[in-house]
Structure 1
Amino acid sequence: MTRREMIRLTSLLGAVGLKSDNMFMKFMKGLQESGRKGGKMISAVSMVDHLVFGFPDLDDGIAWVEKRTGVRARFGGVHPGGGTRNALLSLGESRYLEIIAPDPAQDGIIGRFGDLRSLKEPKLITWAAVTKEIRKIVDRASALGYETGPLRDGSRARPDGKLLKWQSTDIKNQFDGLIPFFIEWGADSIHPSQDSPKGCKLSSIEMEHPEPEKVQALLEKLGIELNIRRGAQAAILAELDTPKGRISLK
């Protein structure tokens, strides 16, 4: 690491609150260990497991996406106890778009998606990054001085009756959904991208935030390479290649 890179890194760490010598040394130790192991930044597109696209009504969401992409998402199932249901379409190998909306058969919405009924327009709420070692993600974040949410066991019943299982966790400061939550799929679960309607591909993902430096710094420490632009409010911007051409979701 050059002196200029070190100065820039120190500035970024201060911006996100890693100001104490102890926290700084923890981070530098983790960075050095990563370098010794050949660690490198990974592009956000390659880490995307799925994009979460929120609607107040699932049928409306399916129709909205089909009109713009030419691909009709397939009903995925419900999240028992989570208050939501979804429809899915593949975005290429091991990636998919999750259209999520309230489940009328459940009373409330629990968790990271908030009150979907209050949405005035479709919104990319957040995104999930895939991992095969989710417990190590928790340990690494803790070692760097960040608080993570609980390691959640999730499940969803597919229309064919099979149960998908996964574990997920997130970093406490998600910057309005810009920092991904992490997901590890159960060994016996079929990844949703494999049997969801195909035809679309994730081309790029970018983000906007009033304080882009803070978001950038945290993503870099998680090993994620992503362009963050300054914007009036937090926003995820994804470009999809579809049968109807390239479209943008936000």
Structure 2
Amino acid sequence: MLELDHLAVTAPSLEEGVAAVEAALGVALAPGGRHAHMGTWNRLLSLGPGLYLEVIAPDPAAPRPAWPRWFGLDTRAAVRLTNWVARTGDLEAALAGAPTGTGAAVDLDRGDLRWRMGIPASGVLPYDDCFPALIQWQAGGHPSERLPDAGCRLRRLVIGHPRAAELTVHLALADPRLVLVVDSAIGMVAEIETPAGVKVLQ
């Protein structure tokens, strides 16, 4: 079975992404780090045990990789909630059962964190990025364990896609916070409970 792991807000620059998310939610993001393999960096927000949100963008201090960056970051021109990530205890098995294009397993690290993740060769995941990236955490535990509790919790993640029913068939994930709807407008919306009430990211 898969579990909801984290949400990804992509941005053309980290500063722009952090400013937009902090303004939308009314809370400060915690430090993240750099991903040398992808030439990206991020800032993080706890959404409770086992779940967090990241704002991720190209790292201007890193060389551009010879392959497409994850989450379609090479073409993102605006700050948006574009992706979600699901964790598994067996990445190879999860990738074998996932739609074509979910990617190949790649070993990654940030500081003392170690994980393996399915990375699509194109940088774009199936179903127009509405299928989750698949991750298996290894050394260092889970990032949510290191983040301060800002009082934010995910209420719902609503994913709209014209082939939502087909997408659901591929998901071995049962989480009442995840809602897939048939919609001609492709995208996702996160409803997040904050100290100032429910806020929306999209």
**TM-score calculated relative to the size of structure 2:** 0.84
Secondary structure (helix, strand or coil) at the match of 1:63 reads helix
Q: Which residue of 2 aligns with 1:183?
A: 135
Q: Which residue of 1 aligns with 2:31?
A: 75
Q: State the shift of 1:96 in Å.
A: 0.3
How many residues are paired up? 194
Contact 2:71 2:129 (C-alpha < 8 Å) held by counterparts:
no
Contact 2:41 2:58 (C-alpha < 8 Å) held by counterparts:
yes
Deviations 1:178-221 (A, max 9, x none): 111211111x31311112232211111111112333223323xx
Q: State the shift of 1:56 in Å.
A: 1.2
Q: For residue 163 of structure 2, what is the amino acid of its counterpart?
A: E
Q: State the shift of 1:116 in Å.
A: 4.9
Gaps of 5+ in 1: 1-41, 158-162
Contact 1:131 1:182 (C-alpha < 8 Å) held by counterparts:
yes
**TM-score calculated relative to the size of structure 1:** 0.69
2:114 maps to which of 143, 165, 171: 165
Answering whether residue 103 of structure 2 is matched by residue 152 of structure 1, we say no
Supply the RMSD in Å over aligned alpha carbons.
Answer: 2.5
* Distance in 2, Cα, partners of 1:136 & 1:128: 16
* Distance in 1, Cα, partners of 2:163 & 2:36: 36
Give identity over the alignment, percent.
33
Deviations 1:31-83 (A, max 9, x none): xxxxxxxxxxx7x8xx2110011111112222222222232112211100302
Answering whether residue 131 of structure 2 is matched by residue 194 of structure 1, we say no
2:6 maps to which of 44, 47, 50: 50
Deviations 1:218-245 (A, max 9, x none): 23xx344643223233211211101121
Contact 1:69 1:243 (C-alpha < 8 Å) held by counterparts:
no
Gaps of 5+ in 2: none
* Distance in 1, Cα, partners of 2:101 & 2:201: 30
Query: What pairs with 1:31-50 in structure 2 (closer than 5 Å)?
Result: 47-50=3-6
* Distance in 2, Cα, partners of 1:238 & 1:137: 25
* Distance in 1, Cα, partners of 2:74 & 2:125: 20
Q: For residue 156 of structure 1, what is the amino acid of its counterpart?
A: R
Answering whether residue 100 of structure 2 is matched by residue 100 of structure 1, we say no
1:136 maps to which of 75, 93, 98: 93
Whose helix fraction is larger, Structure 1's or Structure 2's?
Answer: 1
Q: State the shift of 1:149 in Å.
A: 1.9
Bigger Rg, which one: 1
